[in-house]
Amino acid sequence: MLHRKECKNGLRIVLEQITTVRSITIGIWVKTGSRNETERLNGISHFIEHMLFKGTKNRTPQEIAEAFDGIGGEINAFTSKEYTCYYAKVLDTHQNMAIEILADMILHSNLDSIEMDREKKVILEEINMTEDTPDDIIHDKLHEMIYQDHMLAKPILGSKATVEQLTKQQLSCYMQEHYRPENIVVSIAGNTDQDYMNTVEEYLQFETNPLTRNKEMLISPVFHTGNAKFQKETEQAHLCIGFNGVDVTDKSIHAMMIVNNVLGGSMSSRLFQEIREKDGMAYSIFSYHSAFIDSGLLTIYAGTSKHQLQQVQDKIFSVTDQLRTNGLTEKEWEISKEQLKGLYMLSLESTNSKMSRNARNELLLEDHPSLEQVMKQIDRIQLEDVEAILNGLQADQSAIAVISPDF
């Protein structure tokens, strides 16, 4: 059963009780990511994520790590373009310790200058690692080309130049602006009860700030078409093709998921079968859809030899053209809904995944459809819903990014 509580300070707590497990996963989700930054502060959300593990007024970095290692639990975090999450998974007997430490990190982080200097080196190495991984960085290049001057175009890690110049004052001011209770959701899933929500509220007592904060007005991005090429000494050429997608609240989101699965989201997909299995032109070929608050992006990725790059690109557009022109086959239509329902249900078999689903629903949708409601929504998808998505798969409405040793 799902419980929801809105605290007096604006903090929201959602709790799903699961009595068949002995664990509990707790996530603190902050509605801020790289798109909420400025160009000068690009990477600050991710940098703060790192710094909250670097000591508080009550604990050293080692004590934070040892606290969870000592009970066989785990603590981690991640930053996306639209939110940052800090989470812990522990046995149910250690649930109070877990929220106490997470709250300590959020509320009492030192943001120590010496630790900042050390962590800058770590993040610069993380940026170096990404730049040395062309099948990762090509997706950032595609975003840069499509979104251009919008902050969705910027990498979550930031750049070496922006990370190196970050100061303690900038981190502190950014946290004061964004790490506010009305901007935070705490999501809990596991073997606990409704009273635990009161415990969470007690630990997350934010200091009152006399400054009123207006609701942030996000600027929606514009999708730009085009072709961007980047020369880099690599063994393979890396290709990304992007089409305009749908946002998280769009009623056609499930139709988009069906199109993605048929196109390149599984081993039976058209791209995988045509390009890898039949033609043998790529080892890695897939598609995925990214849904943001006010926009979306359908991306196709392929890694191939530089000599086959144009052939693979032409083949991808041939597949999308055939799919757009002829639609789904009867067999694809029959299995696609069941495949989507199966993927959805199987993705919710752990406390981690349930915690994440509930957090995203509260943070982005402010709604919690039940599993049965989602299944009905999938069953209600009509062919015309899918056809409307397919109409957008046109080559002249796409964006292309390529990394290759030469052209």
pLDDT digit string (tens) for 204-226? 998 765 554 556 678 999 999 99
Decide if 117 is inside a domain.
yes
For tokens 């002249």, what's the residue? 396
Give Dmax over CA atoms of the chain in angstroms: 65
The total of structural domains in the chain comes to 2
Q: What is the Cα gyration radius of the chain?
A: 23
Decide if 316 is inside a domain.
yes
Burial of residue 12, with CB atoms counted within 10 A of its CB: 0-12 exposed, 13-18 middle, 19 or more buried? buried
Total residue count of the chain as it appears in this document: 407
Give the span between the Cα atoms of 63 and 72, in whole angstroms: 14
Same domain, 253 and 105: no
Same domain, 235 and 194: no
Decide if 168 is inside a domain.
yes
Same domain, 107 and 11: yes
Which residues of the chain fall short of a pLDDT of 50? 212
What DSSP character marks residue 274? I
Question: In the prediction, which pLDDT does 407 show?
Answer: 80
Decide if 220 is inside a domain.
no
Model confidence, pTM: 0.95
User: pLDDT of 243-284, one tens digit each?
Assistant: 999 999 999 999 999 999 999 999 999 999 999 999 999 999
Catalytically annotated residue among 6, 37, 39, 49: 49
**The sheet that has 84-91: what strands, in order across it?**
2-6, 12-17, 184-190, 23-30, 84-91, 74-79
Question: In the prediction, which pLDDT does 212 show?
Answer: 46
User: pLDDT of 14-23, one tens digit each?
Assistant: 999 999 999 9
Same domain, 190 and 59: yes
Give the span between the Cα atoms of 253 and 255, in whole angstroms: 5
CATH code (residue 293)? 3.30.830.10
Same domain, 254 and 369: yes
Decide if 217 is inside a domain.
no
Same domain, 257 and 397: yes
Same domain, 295 and 381: yes
Same domain, 184 and 237: no
Q: What domain range is 13 assigned to? A: 2-203
Q: Is 74 a catalytic residue?
A: no
Give the span between the Cα atoms of 384 and 34, in whole angstroms: 35
Question: In the prediction, which pLDDT does 209 show?
Answer: 59
Same domain, 247 and 180: no
Give the span between the Cα atoms of 302 and 317, in whole angstroms: 12
CB atoms within 10 A of CB 18: 18
Same domain, 127 and 268: no
Structure token pair of residue 148: 């251009």
Q: How far is CA 5 from CA 10, 11, 68, 88, 100, in A?
A: 10, 8, 27, 20, 19
The single-letter code of the amino acid at 362 is E
The single-letter code of the amino acid at 164 is E
